[in-house]
Structure 1
Amino acid sequence: MISVSLPTVSVGSNIFFALALCLISLLVLFLLRRFLTLRATPAYLIFPIFFALALPASVILLVPIDLASSSRDGSGAKAIWLPDRVVLVCWRIAYWLIFVLTWAILPLLGEYVDSGYREPKARIIYSLRSNARYQLTVLGCATVGLVYVVISNGFDFRSIKGVVMAAAYVWGLVLAIYLMGHGLVAIPRNLFRNANVSGRLRRIQAHAPKVHDRLMDAVNELESLNSQVAQLQKRKTGTARDFQEWIEDLSETPGDSDVRAPILESAETSGTVPSVITERYLADMTRRLQRARHMKARFVDEWDRVVQSATDLQSIINSAASKKLDFGAAPRRSSCLPRMKFLTPYMRYHLYSNVIPTLRLAFGAFFAVVSGCIVWSELIKSLAPSVSAITLTVVPHWKDEKPVGFWSQVIASAWLLYMCSAALVGVNDAKVWGNRALVRRNTYGESACWYASLVARLTGFDFIFPIFILIPVCATLFNLYGRIKNVFGFGLSDDEDDVENNPSGFGMGGWREGRDLIEREMNGFGSLAVSSRGARSTWASDRSDDGSNGSSRLRVPAAEGSRSPRPAQSQRPMTAPQVVDNEQEEEENFFQSFAHRMRNTFETANKPQWIENAHLPRWMSGDNNTTEEGGITRLFGGSAVPGRLRLG
């Protein structure tokens, strides 16, 4: 009897692979929903951006499956595996789709959205022309390199194809190493820093003046462009009549003139409008107007997050005395934990004061060890792979060529997930992308395409080149970016440097100025108390959460006469609580500190009843009989002020 061994069928692995892909797609959709308005974003943008994010994310799944599939010995399923042909097809689909999205589709769509023209044909021509200039520049540089390769190695189609494919991903590989090297240091360092609530608040206050200045600039830039649109609307003759519908569309779109912009900079808010209106001028005006609106939306969102985070941190610091923490009824918080109703104020205090800082320290120490293992593995894998941390955890029996198990796949996915997270942290921290930014529910279409292509570029792999990860790691660890920023004016933002260089916080841009700006914001620019505002920024958000027209306007605090009267005991204006200035207290000696405490004691003490009921003499009380010409006030050099003496 002849026994025939049937090929093993990966039914369970196929089901797991399909479910994992569905889960990745669902997470990508949630990510898109966080930064884009799915209903308002056209489908020709949603689908390419979705694939540009989902395909690189699938690498976290494909690499462990490829390891298990290639090491399978036919003794039975011990891990998630797929047939070799399926794995090859998946890699080819991922590679070529990422290649086309990176170099063709997303750049064209980005310029198409940012063109400013109304007609699709004009948009396509503008996009093709803009990308042609960039591609010709890249092609010229590539031609020089190709000529060098042909002269050195001769003409060989396979070698030329390999060089072209490698050159296409060199930029992405360099970028991935740079960003991941920064993120490997930034993740544990941020966890360690954020464990200290007062230090985190101080860094946010130091960052506040920069955000506020950029917000003011964005508001005034938008107001200037809106004034130009208003001038165009007044023209009813000449060339402006031919584009009247276009001009009306510019004035009707969200982001009309701000009601508080004239308070900021009323001078020179209007620009010059040419006498002859052309299609190119209107396209440029539309493009500038779109960028200005999204720039304002970006800094409105960032300023709201700065104010909200500072308010939450200040509430945590102030709760140390009462052991009870209540964030108030603000409509939007910096995290979802404050909205949990089952937490009592006492439990919430211990959660934010003790539990979360301890967890941050623990995770910071853990991720610091993980980052060190990744750097060590990249440096040593070519010389001694047997002592590589990643090799020992993923394939501990690599010399025996045993198949990769399920838990080895899980560990490999965890390593890849952490490295991708480190690269994405670098993308968020790096401030070298111009005016592009991710804004919650209001990201500009061109910025979304650019960030999606950037994520797609981060999927390059190599064996020797990642050893250069030591350069960005050392640069971040020893703060070389701060020195570069001081010399050239760019680099990675680090508000810790501003706090360390100016611990007292005095001067322009210090943390004291940021604290004052936040207090004014929470107090309604000095006219409205925190309790009556519900701890919300005075800037109205540009997002339309209720599905309305999404108009971006600033909310002006209520007038003084419109407020309800307050009781007599609450006539003192409320101010936001302040951080205790420990540095200033340390600089005082014993006598200065004692004098300050005595002064505060006398200033805050209530007057005794016998002092309030005591009557002053006539010559000290400012009575009319003593202030006449020739009275006793002539002896002191002039007329008396009620209740005071004038010595002269």
Structure 2
Amino acid sequence: MIEPATASPLGSEIFALVALVVISIIVLLILRYYLPLRTTPAYLLVPVFFAIWLPANMIILVPIDLASSAMVDDIAARGIWLHQGTLKVAWRITYWLTFALTWFILPILAEFSDSGYREPRDKVLDSLRSNAQYYAIVFGSGIIGLIYVLISYGAFSESLQSTVMALAYCWGLALAIYLMGHGLVAIPRRLFRNANISGKLRRIQSQAPRIYEKMEDAEMNLEDLEMQVSELSKRRGGSVSLFQDWIEELLDLTNLPESGPATSRVVPGTGENNKILPTVITEKYMADLTRQLVRAKHSRSRWVSEWNRLLRDAVRTQAILDSAASKKLDFGAASPTAGVLDKYNPLTPYTRFLLHYHALPKLHIALGGLLSLASVCIVWSEVVKGLLPNFSVIRYSVVHHWQGENGQVGFAGQVIAAFWMMYMCAAALTSITEVKVWRGRALVRRNTAHESAFWYASQVARLSVPLSYNFMTFLGALYRDTVFYDFLGQLINLTGLGTRFDMLFPAIILVPVGATLFGLYGRFRRSVGLGVDLIDDDDEEVDIYGSGTWREGRDLIERELNGTSAAIRSRRSEAANRIAGGEARAAPIRSIPTSSSRRGARATGGPTTPLGTSPNTRPSVSGNTSGRRSRQAEPEDENFFEALGHRIQNTFDTMDAPRWFQDIKKPKWMGGDEEGAPAGPSSRGGNGADVRRWFGGGGGGSGEGRIRL
């Protein structure tokens, strides 16, 4: 790089400082949206802030590095540039802080916040024990990589540092490519789907039964744990006396009423005490109970928030559809928790109708088409950058000033590069929120669990460096002149394996792109009979074990909005009865009782029973007032004649015979008694003739005949 001594990047430095301040404000607003800043401890806010702030800075640091490292001596065409010494310091601080946050600080703090112990020392030890397996895998992979580098490279001067950086980059790149491939398809497709207002409403309705089930399961789980805390507080003496203060803190976390339901610790019919709690209360038991209680509270908060958001979206979407007739759109009064933009809306009902019914759908289509084209360009550039780098579309969109084979990035190219990086990061980070992760981690507005905040921040930090460097490889030989390449790229390319992995592995992006584009996640789920995916695939509506359909969701939303589907009041009594009876809940209740059954449960104080208690009946989320019949499982080995016999018997059994036909006596050979038995369908007993025998069906023993629809 040729840099005149008289050149001064003062204007660029001011621009960079202003950009850092703006990014800091945006990060603080993001944290405020998901976390209450006043009550959140500093040990969480500070690491999470830097875990988001440092990756966000790379969006402006990479374009500045590209413009500063150009080989053309044209200061006016550089755009925003800095001295190489400043860039080297910035990259070292950004990379090593991100590395430390990703692999050490955030995982330890996440387990520290999730630990149920009271004392900080016990929390730290529990966190280290929880991360022991994680670090064993990390250090084991590092040792294997170090041995490979020593054998292939034959030197030790930079092998350790290069191995650590290269392994971290390869793992982050593998995760980033997969998530980004999913997001590059999911984001444009979501925009196209949201352009269809009726289709959007149907998708919202199809999600309602599943979210409602999750909310009820979370509520039931929380109440079970609260009842355990209540039973624990009733103990006196023994080992419980050592944890009285701890138990009082757990009681403060619960929502038990002061006059809670009376619970009996005697199993009905046995007369013996049902010891739902261990005989000896230990510190480990108290820590596990605390951890489960905190997780259950956050899980309940998550699904309640999801349910309220779904209701709000359903109401708004239905109002938009209904406004087609009157040409006026009014969403009603804003809720107290709504944002400033929702509370202050200067539009008239007619202009609001034009905006939401005509303008926004067309804008979604236009933006979806633009992002689809951007996704195609990113996928194409990933595929050809290793073999045909001159055919990269992103390269020509960023590098505008060419002198022979050398290029220079100006201000316009820097802006375009920043937008490319923002879209790539948004595609990867959007997929993170859709990944099915353990412990039910989720981002909840103003109430995100501390462990979830640490986990999502660590994923942001982990993906930032691989995505930044992967974007720079789209630019051909130009990226080899950057400071970032001198700091990280040459260590990745230290061995032939690292070079081939960096250039050829990103072509694997075709796998997640194809899987998301053609809905392979849902097809694989249905083929193996699983009820969960690695990533949500809303390409088709799937009705599996109570997931429900859009019609059931529509009825459920209508009842909730009309006030006839209130929360089940007898949950706490049911939890107390299960604890008193020593019954462990084997599976979640996946039925939604009707409003009448709930009122009856509240009146009698008894628990709500799920629909379809027959062992041959699959539980389903019905909830509709039409009373959908439960379906019985038909045997798989039923042949054609047996099925025909079932239907003929069904015809005769459901036929109303005339009185003269009922007075006819059956002879003994037809199954009648000694005096004779009436032949009508109302008199069929256990020894009655079974017409299915004529067609090779099963016998007509007592209770074996079943009506087949």
* CA deviation map 1:426-458 (0-9, x unaligned): 112222354111010000001100100000010
Structure 2: how far apart are the matches of 1:58 and 1:258? 51
Tell me which of 359, 365, 369 is aligned to 1:365: 369
* CA deviation map 1:462-487 (0-9, x unaligned): 44132222221111111111123332
Q: CA deviation at 1:144?
A: 3.7
- 1:180 maps to what in 2? 180
Structure 1: how far apart are the matches of 2:40 and 2:152? 50
- 2:170 maps to what in 1? 170
Q: CA deviation at 1:131?
A: 1.5
Q: CA deviation at 1:102?
A: 0.6
1:343 equivalent in alignment to 2:342: no
1:370–1:129: structure 2 CA closer, same or farther, 3 Å change rule?
A: same
Structure 1: how far apart are the matches of 2:202 and 2:275? 39
- 2:12 maps to what in 1? 13
The 5-angstrom pairing of residues 604-619 of structure 1 reads: none
1:427 equivalent in alignment to 2:427: no
- 1:449 maps to what in 2? 454
1:440–1:254: structure 2 CA closer, same or farther, 3 Å change rule?
A: farther
Q: CA deviation at 1:334?
A: 8.4
Contact residue 223 and residue 258 of structure 1 kept, 8 A: no
Residue type at the aligned position of 2:217 = D
SS of 1:244's equivalent in the other structure is: helix
The 5-angstrom pairing of residues 58-73 of structure 1 reads: 58-71=57-70, 73=72
1:525 equivalent in alignment to 2:543: no
* CA deviation map 1:219-273 (0-9, x unaligned): 00000000011111112211111211110111112654699999xxxx99x9921
Residue type at the aligned position of 2:106 = L
Q: CA deviation at 1:155?
A: 5.3
* CA deviation map 1:298-331 (0-9, x unaligned): 0000010111101111111112221111112241
Residue type at the aligned position of 2:409 = V
1:336–1:306: structure 2 CA closer, same or farther, 3 Å change rule?
A: farther
* CA deviation map 1:28-61 (0-9, x unaligned): 0000001111111100110000000010111100
1:136–1:260: structure 2 CA closer, same or farther, 3 Å change rule?
A: same
Structure 2: how far apart are the matches of 1:401 and 1:77? 17
- 1:473 maps to what in 2? 513
1:495 equivalent in alignment to 2:541: no
Structure 2: how far apart are the matches of 1:339 and 1:520? 27
- 1:25 maps to what in 2? 24
Structure 2: how far apart are the matches of 1:259 and 1:147? 66
Q: CA deviation at 1:143?
A: 3.0
* CA deviation map 1:85-124 (0-9, x unaligned): 0001101111100010011100110011011111111111
Structure 1: how far apart are the matches of 2:425 and 2:461? 11
1:341–1:559: structure 2 CA closer, same or farther, 3 Å change rule?
A: farther
- 1:532 maps to what in 2? none
Residue type at the aligned position of 2:331 = F
Contact residue 315 and residue 327 of structure 1 kept, 8 A: yes
Structure 2: how far apart are the matches of 1:538 and 1:392? 61
Residue type at the aligned position of 2:206 = A
Q: CA deviation at 1:420?
A: 0.9
* CA deviation map 1:306-364 (0-9, x unaligned): 11101111111112221111112241688876544321112111211111111101111
Contact residue 400 and residue 408 of structure 2 kept, 8 A: no
Residue type at the aligned position of 2:421 = L
1:71–1:259: structure 2 CA closer, same or farther, 3 Å change rule?
A: farther
* CA deviation map 1:399-428 (0-9, x unaligned): 442432111111111111111111111112
Structure 1: how far apart are the matches of 2:148 and 2:390? 38
Contact residue 399 and residue 413 of structure 2 kept, 8 A: yes
The 5-angstrom pairing of residues 291-310 of structure 1 reads: 291-310=295-314
The 5-angstrom pairing of residues 109-508 of structure 1 reads: 109-154=109-154, 156-253=156-253, 255-256=255-256, 272-331=276-335, 339-398=343-402, 399-459=404-464, 460=466, 461-462=469-470, 463-464=502-503, 465-486=505-526, 487=528, 488=530, 489-498=532-541
Q: CA deviation at 1:22?
A: 0.7
1:482–1:161: structure 2 CA closer, same or farther, 3 Å change rule?
A: same
Number of aligned residue pairs: 525
Contact residue 210 and residue 548 of structure 2 kept, 8 A: yes
SS of 1:495's equivalent in the other structure is: coil
The 5-angstrom pairing of residues 535-550 of structure 1 reads: none
1:507–1:236: structure 2 CA closer, same or farther, 3 Å change rule?
A: closer
- 1:615 maps to what in 2? none
Residue type at the aligned position of 2:321 = I
Q: TM-score, normalised by structure 2?
A: 0.69
Unaligned runs of 5+ in 2: 269-273, 471-501, 570-594, 601-709
Q: Which piece of structure 1 moves more, 116-125 or 479-488?
A: 479-488
1:397–1:380: structure 2 CA closer, same or farther, 3 Å change rule?
A: farther
1:404–1:212: structure 2 CA closer, same or farther, 3 Å change rule?
A: same
RMSD, matched Cα: 3.2
1:323–1:222: structure 2 CA closer, same or farther, 3 Å change rule?
A: same
- 1:35 maps to what in 2? 34
SS of 1:458's equivalent in the other structure is: helix
Structure 2: how far apart are the matches of 1:129 and 1:15? 47
The 5-angstrom pairing of residues 39-58 of structure 1 reads: 39-58=38-57
Q: Which piece of structure 1 moves more, 472-481 or 30-39?
A: 472-481
Contact residue 150 and residue 159 of structure 2 kept, 8 A: no
1:323–1:521: structure 2 CA closer, same or farther, 3 Å change rule?
A: same
Contact residue 145 and residue 167 of structure 2 kept, 8 A: no
Contact residue 382 and residue 506 of structure 2 kept, 8 A: yes
1:65–1:153: structure 2 CA closer, same or farther, 3 Å change rule?
A: closer
Unaligned runs of 5+ in 1: 528-536, 540-555, 561-648
1:145–1:70: structure 2 CA closer, same or farther, 3 Å change rule?
A: closer
Q: TM-score, normalised by structure 1?
A: 0.75
Residue type at the aligned position of 1:490 = D
1:338–1:260: structure 2 CA closer, same or farther, 3 Å change rule?
A: farther
Tell me which of 548, 551, 560 is aligned to 1:509: 548
1:6–1:496: structure 2 CA closer, same or farther, 3 Å change rule?
A: closer
Structure 2: how far apart are the matches of 1:337 and 1:349? 17
Contact residue 202 and residue 511 of structure 1 kept, 8 A: yes
Q: CA deviation at 1:128?
A: 1.5
Contact residue 521 and residue 538 of structure 1 kept, 8 A: no
Q: CA deviation at 1:76?
A: 2.9
* CA deviation map 1:566-613 (0-9, x unaligned): xxxxxxxxxxxxxxxxxxxxxxxxxxxxxxxxxxxxxxxxxxxxxxxx
* CA deviation map 1:504-563 (0-9, x unaligned): x99861111111111121112258xxxxxxxxx999xxxxxxxxxxxxxxxx99999xxx
Percentage of identical aligned residues: 51
Residue type at the aligned position of 2:284 = R
